Every structure is written in C-alpha cells, then in structure tokens.
Amino acid sequence: MHNRVSIVGAAALLACLAAGSSSPAAAQTINGAGATFPYPIYAKWFQAYTQAHPNVKFNYQAVGSGAGIAQYKAGTVFFGASDAPLSDAEYASMPQPTIHVPTVAGAVVLAYNIKGVGPGLRLSGDVIADIYLGKIKSWNDPRIVKENPNITLPAENVSVVHRSDGSGTTYIFTNYLAAVSGEWKSGVGSGKSVSWPAGLGGNGNAGVAGLVKSSSGGVGYVELAYAVQNKLAYGPVKNKAGNYVLASTATTTAAANSAASAMQRDVRTSIVNSGGVNTYPIAGFTYLLVPKAPKDAAIGRAFTDFVKWAMGPGQQMAESLLYARLPPPVVQINERAIGTIKLK
C-alpha cells in the first residue's frame, strides 16, 4: 500500500495509543471490519475524530467487505463496512436489526501496466468484459486499437488481476460488467465473489494494485485512490451516453447525484452505468453497517456521534482522497436513519 495510506493508518494508530495511555478508564474502543475501498478516507476520519475526542478509539480491520459482513454478523465487531449493501436475504439473516449508512461514493478504475503506454487508454464496457472473460488476450487486439488510434499498443499479453477475497469493489465492478455485457450477466453474474473466467487474484485493493504494478501487461480493478497512490496508469471508460469519461471526484459526484431520489426509497440503490454526459460509469457508494439497537449503549452513543460528525466535517475531507461527498439529500436520509438508533 502506498506510503500516504500507511502514514495515515500509522498516525491513527498512534493517536489511538496516545488517547488510550492518557485516559484508559474513560476510553471507548470501537471495533469494526470490512471494506478496503474506503480505507484511506476512514483512516483519515478516525485519526481526525480521535484527535478531537481523545476518549474514542477505533480499531478497524480492512479485510474486505465479505469478511467485514461476516465479522459483523458474528458479533466480533461493533460495525461492519461494505461497498456491497446487504441483500434482502443477508439482511434477514442478521442477528440484530441493522441500518445502512452510505458514507462516500468512489470510483473503480481499470489500472494497467502496459509497456510504453501511459495514462489515457480508452476502454468500453464490452471490451472490459471480454478482457475479464479471457477473450481478449493481447493489448494490440484490434478492438482496443480501434478505441485508441493515437496510442501505439504493444503485442503484449494481457495479464488479468481480480480480487481473491469477498469484496465490495468486486460487487461494484461485476455489477457494471453485468450491466454492459449480456454474456457476463448470464455466464458469470455479479456479487462480492464470482467464479472468475481468467486471471490472478489479489487480496484487497492494495493487493490488486501491487499485482498490477508487478505484472507485465497487468490490468486490475481498484478504487481510484489506490491507483493514484500507487502511481498506476488508468484511462477514461465509455459511459452510457457514449462518452469516454475519466474517473474523478466530479464525475463520481455526477453518478452519486443520479441516485439521490431513488435512495429516498432504498439507500442500496446502484449507481453503476448511470445516465448523464459526464458520469463515470464504474462507481458506487460504500456503507457502514450499524446496529439499530446497540447492546453496549455507551459504544453505540460514541459511534452515533462519530457518524453524525462524518456527515458534516468528515464530508469536507473526502475530495482530498478522491472520494465524492454525499449529495445533501443522502446526508439527510442518513441523519434520519441515525436518529432511529435506540440508545438505552
């Protein structure tokens, strides 16, 4: 993982340790686990919040959405974090009533390591799907060349990289592939884990970024911040309107805004392949999974206060780490949901 993320994590840990040593009796430790997709912004939030509230510590394990949901369900952590919202069946199986709190939106990019090719490679959905289906095997495939007439593409083998763990980033990416490719939808499908037709698996966003960086001809899907921090090349993706759009906070915000009204009915609304001329098509919200009636009222109150803070000052930190702030209507949805948490 890039030094900036590591430094943020280390700073958060040091802040937590300092808080613990100064007032161990009063300190509240809040345990959580889950998505690697939002780890850079969560680490920054935890650090900033602990500095302002020294009696609150966070112990967050970035183990992937699937493992985070499992730990939350088992009761080994207070909160879970996932880029894949709970399905109706998963929600019904939870041992306690749970609310989804979308925190930020982020973009998933196709990071690549192609000899002699810098940033800016254009890719369309059908080409991306066929790369991951194992049907496009070389970077100078005529379909990629046709999309990139101004780039000299080498006769280099495509080395596909995907997640090996249960992942919300995979959920976003495979939902996108299912939206743009009938063959993918009927053959592979979508979810936190799928049976990959091709490629090597990496653990977490950091693991995929590392494999792409070390693989000649490598290509892998990672959250935007991980591509930037690892200095990996990526390019614009053709959106639903037919425009090639580069991932950025602005184009991710466009995707987030497209779902604001639908989220009044269900915060689990997908934003992949949304309409709009300047909308980046591989984007998603990331969620906290929070108990509606916490067994430990003190921890529940401390975490509720943190989430309220994340909806205000926390949102101002999102763009510096390449996440999109929540649209104001979604913040209001969250504030109403937080207000329903029962604190004894």
Statement: residue 176 has pLDDT above 90: yes
Q: Check residue 26 and give its pLDDT.
A: 63
CATH number (domain holding residue 168): 3.40.190.10
In a domain, 280, yes or no: no
The reported pLDDT for the residue numbered 344 is 75
Query: Does 259 share its domain with 157?
Result: yes
Domain count, the chain: 2
DSSP three-state, residue 332: helix
Say if residue 223 is in the same domain as residue 140. Answer: yes
Report pLDDT for 6.
Answer: 40
Same domain, 20 and 50: yes
> Do 210 and 293 fall within a single domain?
no
Contact 134, 197 (CB under 8 A): yes
Q: Same structural domain for residues 117 and 223? A: yes
Of the CA atoms within 13 Å of residue 111, those in its CB half-sphere come to 28
Q: Are residue 156 and residue 28 in the same domain, yes or no?
A: no
Tell whether 207 and 292 lie within a shared domain. Answer: no
Structure tokens given for 156: 């280099």
Q: Are residues 118 and 231 in the same domain?
A: yes
What are the tokens at 220?
């892998």
Cα distances (Å, whole numbers) of residue 121 to 94, 180, 206: 43, 19, 22
Give the integer Cα–Cα distance in Å for 129 and 182: 10
Q: Are 47 and 316 contacting, i.e. CB atoms less than 8 angstroms apart?
A: no
pLDDT digits (tens, 9 = 90+) for 210-259: 999 999 999 999 999 999 999 999 999 999 999 999 999 999 999 999 99
Same domain, 118 and 230: yes
In a domain, 343, yes or no: no
Question: Residue 307 domain-assigned?
Answer: yes
CB 119 within 8 A of CB 246: no
Q: What is the CA radius of gyration of the chain?
A: 20
**Contact yes or no for 283/272 (Cβ under 8 A):** yes
Give the model confidence (pLDDT) of 63-85 as tens digits: 999 999 999 999 999 999 999 99
Would the pLDDT of 5 be above 70? no
Regarding whether 144 and 57 lie in a shared domain, the answer is no
At 24, the pLDDT band (50, 70, 90 cuts) reads very low
Handedness of CA 75, 292, 307, 67 (dihedral sign): positive
Q: List, for residues 108-149, the tens digit of each pLDDT value.
A: 999 999 999 999 999 999 999 999 999 999 999 999 999 999
DSSP codes joined into one string, 114-167: -TT--S---B-HHHHHHHHTT---BTT-HHHHHH-TTS---S-B-EEEEESS--
Q: In what order do the strands lie in the sheet with 200-202?
A: 56-62, 28-34, 79-82, 283-291, 98-113, 218-223, 159-163, 200-202
Residue 122 and residue 56 share a domain: no
Burial of 336 (0-12, 13-18, 19+ CB in 10 A): exposed
Question: What does 81-115 look like in DSSP terms, one character per residue?
Answer: EESSPPPHHHHHH-SS-EEEEEEEEEEEEEEEE-T
Q: Could you tell me which residue, 17 or 194, shows the higher pLDDT?
A: 194
Contacting residues for 339 by C-beta, under 8 A, at least 6 apart:
none
Report, as an integer, the average pLDDT of 168-183: 97
Question: Domain span at residue 254?
Answer: 107-264
Is 137 found in the same domain as 40?
Answer: no
Beta bridge partners of 123: 237
Instruction: Examine residue 20 and state whether it is found in any structural domain, yes or no.
Output: yes
Do residues 128 and 110 make contact, with C-beta atoms less than 8 angstroms apart?
yes
Q: Are 30 and 46 spatial neighbours (Cβ–Cβ below 8 Å)? A: no
pLDDT of residue 245: 98
